[in-house]
Structure 1
Amino acid sequence: MHIFLDIEALRSYEEAGDIVKNVRRSITPSIKEGAMLLDIATLVEEEITGSGGRPAFPCTIAINETASHYTPSRDDERSLRRGDLVKVDFGACVHGYVADAAFTVEIGTREQEALIIAAKEALFAGIARIRPGVPVSRVGGAIHDEAASRGFHVLKDLLGHSLGWNCLHGGLTIPPYDDGSDLKIREGDVLAIEPFLTKGSGIISRIGGGNIYQLFRNGEIYAHGPEEKELLGFIHEHYGTFPFAERWLPKPGGLPGLLSSACVKAFPMMVEADGAPVAQAEATVIVEHDGYMIIT
């Protein structure tokens, strides 16, 4: 195997991938009827930390028509109900290198089994096209065609992406359809491939309230008063440009001010506009000289 990653970077990616795989196995039995969303997210994040990594972003738990960008608040009382279609998306960071994965579970019923399987197969179809020199549009085309062959639509606004050192979204984006792009995959790229499928139109509505934030610009000049300045320093020190949750902050009182001054941005929830259930599957791959290696 010959890839354009130094040995320490490769080991860190593989370690992060192992953490993600182990956490998925251990937490899956907890995703069941009556489970509190806050308990699930906390368990995921604590297991990542206990395994020697750190959460690359807040554990996302998106239910039914909500596709992504929801994490429970510190006082969240929601629990899973029979028939819920639950997407769990999380990542582990080791020495700045991230592995990212997601899976879908239906709670107590099997009405959406075909949708869940289609999301997995669309993921595998896209990954199977990955080689150095292959346009990202070909990967997206394979995802779209597999979904369509099973009677489902992809959510075109939700993209796969490159992973880099201390960078969760950077470099290439991987559309879940053939967008005609001639941007090519390179040996050594680390890619998160993540199709979202639905029986609905696949059009996305963006709404507030997802409880996920990210540092947008750092500088005390934008913060007003000691509370905001202290919080801005804490966010910069502990999370840098990685997303974080309000419940991760020891003193979140200054957060509204940082949002209003555009120091911090809030991620909108991504919701299927027709109200149709959404399934997601995601894996992280490293592009090798003659193919790929799935690390999650």
Structure 2
Amino acid sequence: MDSRIDKVRKVLRTEKADALLVWNSEGSGQPATQWFSGFSGSSSMLLITETKCVLVTDGRYTAQAKREARGFKILISLAQKPTFKILSEIIKGNNVHRMLFDGSVTAYALVEELKSSVTSEGDTSFRKGGIKKLSIELISRKRILQELRVVKDKEEIHLLKKSAEIACRAFTRLLPEIHAGITEKGIAKRLEDLMAEEGAEGIAFPTIVASGKNGALPHARPSDKKIKSGELVTIDFGACFHGYVSDMTRTIAIGKISTRLKKIYEAVRKAQELGCTKAKAGVTGRQIDAVCRDYLTKQGLGKYFAHSTGHGIGMEVHELPIVSSYSDTLLIEGSVITCEPGVYIPNVGGVRIEDALVLTKGGNTNLSKSLSKELLTL
């Protein structure tokens, strides 16, 4: 964890801030809290300064916090001494004048409430020791918590690989059970059960199963619709393992499908292959998006590709960096992205193929390479 705290302190110096506040309210800031401290509970406040690391949580998590958040000072909020009071003491005791927080995770109103607690005219508890009432400047840096986590360390990459392996094994076991007559909901539930059997601690997100015309909806919810022969079925799924998630998509055929659907599938497969080949450290998200989008456009399908090509993945399904037509940031070695071009034609259906890639200077490592991308007919 020390290297992660070092990253925070480097940002504090750059921003000329005295502390970083991470507010974890029923899970909203949980990924960042766990990344910094190891604490996996759903409610806490974390404060990092140049010299101190403090985690405040409630009595439900006393033992868990002491076990997981090693290297952090653990303080427990009580009815007679609530969280704001504890943080107020820490902030005043460490002369925090400029406090950095992630505005995309923590509501400004909540931080203002904490600020009011610290600067309250009626608060005299710290004047006894000669500590004067502080004025605090709040600094909002949206997505700063994700920026700090873009580059994955060896342990994170190991966990991402394990998460992907679990999902791949489950999908391989699922395939023989898919047939005409089974429902989309049935496929989704069975896949999620298989991921649990393979060691998943949970699902990365609700499994997407879209068959036939439903395939034209990129994020279709599984329905009671029965799979029919002659249809394509798109399955987007992922597992969670030790806080890290996987994300992959495959589209399969049920029985004999039309020539048009075959051509659409091959176009998406080729576009995704081009994107995966392009993906490496030193290129931009725009460049990866362009090779996928340009190929589909040449095939007359560009207008049916309605979303970005990919996104970062780690403790959250959607993280930085972004892989889209408006992303000019150079991708960094050790970051992990998805490559998932798709085609969605109303009243016809859709195809999406997705892999997660660990970027290196010379290319990438595909975390779901064990799953074939040739059209599979069941």
- Indicate whether the TM-score tops 0.5: yes
What is the aligned residue count? Answer: 213
Map Cα deviations across residues 67-118 of structure 1 (whole Å, 9 max, x no partner). 332333xxx5321012222110001111111121101122222211111122
- Whether the 8 Å contact between 1:158 and 1:196 is mirrored in structure 2 is no
1:253 alignment counterpart: none
1:77 and 1:5, CA in 2 relative to 1: closer, same or farther beyond 3 A? closer
1:184 aligns with 2:357: no
> For 2:314 and 2:359, how far apart are their aligned partners in 1?
13
Secondary structure (helix, strand or coil) at the match of 1:102 reads strand
Q: Which has a greater percent of helix?
A: 2
Q: Which amino acid aligns with 1:56?
A: A
Match 1:122 to one of 256, 271, 282? 271
1:180 and 1:163, CA in 2 relative to 1: closer, same or farther beyond 3 A? closer
Deviation at residue 4 of structure 1 after TM alignment:
5.0
Structure with greater contact order relative to length (CA < 8 Å, sep ≥ 6) = 1
> For 2:327 and 2:225, how far apart are their aligned partners in 1?
41
Deviation at residue 126 of structure 1 after TM alignment:
0.6
Map Cα deviations across residues 2-48 of structure 1 (whole Å, 9 max, x no partner). x9533321211111111122122221222321112222111110111
Map Cα deviations across residues 146-183 of structure 1 (whole Å, 9 max, x no partner). 22333322423354111122x111112222xxx25322
Secondary structure (helix, strand or coil) at the match of 2:338 reads strand
- Whether the 8 Å contact between 1:192 and 1:284 is mirrored in structure 2 is yes
Q: Which amino acid aligns with 1:42?
A: K
2:203 alignment counterpart: 55
- Whether the 8 Å contact between 1:87 and 1:105 is mirrored in structure 2 is yes
- Whether the 8 Å contact between 2:305 and 2:343 is mirrored in structure 1 is yes
The share of aligned pairs that are identical, in percent, is 24
1:169 aligns with 2:315: no
1:149 aligns with 2:320: no
1:69 aligns with 2:141: no
1:14 and 1:181, CA in 2 relative to 1: closer, same or farther beyond 3 A? closer
1:258 alignment counterpart: none
Q: Which amino acid aligns with 1:30?
A: E
- Whether the 8 Å contact between 1:123 and 1:195 is mirrored in structure 2 is yes
- Whether the 8 Å contact between 2:232 and 2:257 is mirrored in structure 1 is no
1:259 alignment counterpart: none
> For 2:362 and 2:244, how far apart are their aligned partners in 1?
23
Map Cα deviations across residues 130-157 of structure 1 (whole Å, 9 max, x no partner). 1211011110111012223333224233
Report which of the two structures shows the higher radius of gyration computed on alpha carbons: 2
Q: Which amino acid aligns with 1:123?
A: Q
Question: When the two structures are superposed, what TM-score results if normalisation uses the length of structure 1?
Answer: 0.67
2:232 alignment counterpart: 85
* Structure 1, gaps ≥5 residues long: 201-273
Greater displacement, 97-106 / 77-86: 77-86
Secondary structure (helix, strand or coil) at the match of 1:128 reads helix
Considering only aligned residues, what root-mean-square deviation do their CA atoms show, in Å? 2.0
Secondary structure (helix, strand or coil) at the match of 1:68 reads coil
> For 1:80 and 1:110, how far apart are their aligned partners in 2?
13
1:289 aligns with 2:367: no
> For 2:218 and 2:189, how far apart are their aligned partners in 1?
17
Q: Which has a greater percent of strand?
A: 1
Map Cα deviations across residues 163-211 of structure 1 (whole Å, 9 max, x no partner). 122x111112222xxx25322211111111111124x4xxxxxxxxxxx
Secondary structure (helix, strand or coil) at the match of 1:103 reads strand
What pairs up with 1:147-296 in 2 under 5 angstroms? 147-153=296-302, 154-165=304-315, 167-175=316-324, 179=325, 181-198=327-344, 200=345, 274-296=346-368
1:118 and 1:29, CA in 2 relative to 1: closer, same or farther beyond 3 A? farther
